[in-house]
Amino acid sequence: MMVRLEHANLAVPDLAEALRFLGAAFPAFRVRASGNTWSGAGWVHCGTDTTYVALQQATGEPLEAWVPYGGKPGLNHLGFEVDDVEALRTRLAGAGYRETTVPNRHPHRKRIYFADGAGSDWEFVEYRNADPALRNDYSIPDVT
């Protein structure tokens, strides 16, 4: 059975800012479609022909600010595989985004993290080996 994440659907406080972040991270992404929900909130599908991020304009405020990795239920980050994390780092830093990379070192993958304009964390991983056993080897300490 083939399984692939086709999209993630996120409610965001600012559609334009979310699109700016995704555009800086993924220059190949484009707006596939946009419109309004039945309640009038704007939405955008941004991505490629095969994968995308669905963004919906939030219409309310959370009861409390979300703190990624704070121990409460919720989305800590989305992770994307990329070809070149250093080029992505340069683009996001150049666009003014804050890097949140935790110490990590692994011989077969390189991970970086950035916070978007709303403070949500995003992970980007570059695999340096095609062998799944090596790419996914968690017995190697992944810290510096």
CATH number, domain of 55, equals 3.10.180.10
User: How do residues 91-104 score in pLDDT, each as one tens digit?
Assistant: 999 999 999 998 88
Among the candidates 10, 28, 60, a domain finishes at: 60
Instruction: End-to-end CA distance of the chain: give it in Å, rounded.
Output: 37
User: How sure is the predictor about 143, in pLDDT bands with cuts at 50, 70 and 90?
Assistant: low
Structural contact between residues 120 and 55, judged by C-beta atoms closer than 8 angstroms: no
User: How do residues 18-34 score in pLDDT, each as one tens digit?
Assistant: 999 999 999 999 999 99
User: How do residues 53-66 score in pLDDT, each as one tens digit?
Assistant: 999 999 988 888 87
Structural contact between residues 11 and 25, judged by C-beta atoms closer than 8 angstroms: no
Range of the domain at 15: 1-60
| 48/2: higher pLDDT | 48
Among the candidates 60, 82, 104, a domain finishes at: 60
- Both 119 and 53 in one domain: the answer is no
- Both 39 and 94 in one domain: the answer is no
**Residue tagged 């992970």 (tokens):** 123
For the chain, give the mean pLDDT.
92
- Both 102 and 56 in one domain: the answer is no
- Both 105 and 140 in one domain: the answer is yes
CA distance 30 to 33: 9
Among the candidates 13, 35, 60, a domain finishes at: 60
User: How do residues 101-124 score in pLDDT, each as one tens digit?
Assistant: 988 889 999 999 999 999 999 999
- Both 71 and 140 in one domain: the answer is yes
- Partners of 115 in beta bridges: 98, 121
Q: Is the pLDDT at 3 greater than 90, yes or no?
A: no
